[in-house]
Structure 1
Amino acid sequence: MSKPDPTQYRPCVGTMLINAEGRVFVGKRIDTKEGDWWQMPQGGVDEGEDLDRAMLRELHEETGLTADKVAIVARMEEELFYDLPAELKGKLWKGRYVGQRQRWYCVRLTGSEADIDLEAHSHPEFSDWKWIEAEQLPAMIIPFKKPIYEKVVAAFSDYTGA
């Protein structure tokens, strides 16, 4: 199988935020109309933006956490790709991309749970959040992202006990 053309995929960062016990933060998506889908923080990388900065920016926008409340534990070297399902192609991101290419981080919360604020950004993405065991992640994500989550869980298992 050939590697996908990266120009066809939206650059993105994802964050597996873990607590001291190795449990993983998940947020319930506000915009999901069908299903009870939860996900880890993730979002687009701006043109020319450093990946670490993009991850910290997205994490702050979605959880309210600032760089002084977290510590980067690990980064996946492999870039992960997923395709949008047919019904979403041409609708998201102004039709520019067929999916996303993601770089994932494992980040430990060094602050307090009280530092988490889902309304820190003017456009919240999550309506609720909770800590879960890493093994639960693939079953909670929207199905077309499941293979990505399986790879992320495996990649960061040393930090979560998965």
Structure 2
Amino acid sequence: MQVIDCDGYRANVGIILCNAEQQLFWGKRVGQAAWQFPQGGVHAEETPEEAMFRELHEETGLFPRHVEVLGSTRHWLRYRLPERMVRRHQRPVCIGQKQRWFLLRMVGDESDVVLDAMETPEFDDWRWIDYWRPAREVVHFKRQVYRRALCELVPLMFPELEQARARRSGRRGPAQPQPRSPVSSR
């Protein structure tokens, strides 16, 4: 069952999966020229972290043993759907998505990726790409939320860059955000 809040946003998780070379998993939607990160809805009985692991398996075939969770966004990040995509005949009306984004590092092998693990696959192709490329290439209405997620999670992906930036600015102590276990509350 979909979880849509009183403002019309569907609860969703986004997955940014990286490899040891600091490249990101980029999936091509079945039968389309559209590429995106794995993502999917949070069911009523799930935490965002549970939904993330379910969606990870459904869309990539990967299990928790194949990844290390590096962290997640602190808050829900929202985007609105284009008006032509809002299904006004459904109740409740969903005008967009609110997403918790998770940054994962793949610790399994590329051969562990199985796009047709489920009866109806989401992706029919995938590749590794550079960190900022998705914010330029994803469908236009998701670009801002992709940028926000990538910006918030960049210190977890490239801690050496954040430490250098902190030294240049004279800041003491660790950079923000801190690596942490994902928050399990909705």
* Correspondences of 1:60-71 after superposition (within 5 Å): 60-71=57-68
The equivalent position to 1:43 in structure 2, one of 40, 43, 53, is 40
> Match of 1:80?
77
User: Between Structure 1 and Structure 2, how many residues are aligned?
Assistant: 155
Residue 101 and residue 122 in structure 1: after superposition, are their counterparts in 2 closer, same or farther (change >3 A)?
A: same
> Match of 1:18?
18
Residue 91 and residue 39 in structure 1: after superposition, are their counterparts in 2 closer, same or farther (change >3 A)?
A: farther
What TM-score results when the alignment is normalised by the length of structure 2? 0.78
Contact 1:9 1:101 (8 Å CA) reproduced: yes
Contact 1:81 1:99 (8 Å CA) reproduced: yes
Contact 1:31 1:125 (8 Å CA) reproduced: no
Q: Structure 2 CA distance, aligned partners of 1:10 and 1:50?
A: 14
Residue 127 and residue 93 in structure 1: after superposition, are their counterparts in 2 closer, same or farther (change >3 A)?
A: farther
What one-letter code is carried by the residue in structure 2 that aligns with 1:57? R
Residue 94 and residue 43 in structure 1: after superposition, are their counterparts in 2 closer, same or farther (change >3 A)?
A: farther
Q: Structure 1 CA distance, aligned partners of 2:149 and 2:131?
A: 9
Deviation at 1:138, TM superposition (A): 1.1
> Match of 2:53?
56
Q: Structure 2 CA distance, aligned partners of 1:92 and 1:150?
A: 31
Residue 9 and residue 38 in structure 1: after superposition, are their counterparts in 2 closer, same or farther (change >3 A)?
A: same
Contact 1:27 1:130 (8 Å CA) reproduced: yes
What one-letter code is carried by the residue in structure 2 that aligns with 1:68? R
What one-letter code is carried by the residue in structure 2 that aligns with 1:109? M
Residue 94 and residue 39 in structure 1: after superposition, are their counterparts in 2 closer, same or farther (change >3 A)?
A: farther
Instruction: Give the stretch that moved more between structures: 38-47 or 152-161.
Output: 152-161
Deviation at 1:6, TM superposition (A): 3.6
Deviation at 1:93, TM superposition (A): 7.1
> Match of 2:120?
123
Deviation at 1:96, TM superposition (A): 2.9
Contact 2:25 2:126 (8 Å CA) reproduced: yes
What one-letter code is carried by the residue in structure 1 that aligns with 2:56? L
Q: Once the two structures are superposed, what CA deviation does each residue of 1:33-57 show, in whole Å capped at 9, x if it has no partner?
A: xxx3210010000002011111000
The equivalent position to 1:135 in structure 2, one of 129, 132, 136, is 132
The equivalent position to 1:102 in structure 2, one of 85, 88, 99, is 99
Q: Once the two structures are superposed, what CA deviation does each residue of 1:12-71 show, in whole Å capped at 9, x if it has no partner?
A: 001100001111001011154xxx321001000000201111100001000000011111
Q: Structure 2 CA distance, aligned partners of 1:55 and 1:11?
A: 12
Unaligned runs of 5+ in 1: none
SS in 1 for 2:85: coil
Residue 135 and residue 141 in structure 1: after superposition, are their counterparts in 2 closer, same or farther (change >3 A)?
A: same
Q: Identity of paired residues, percent?
A: 37
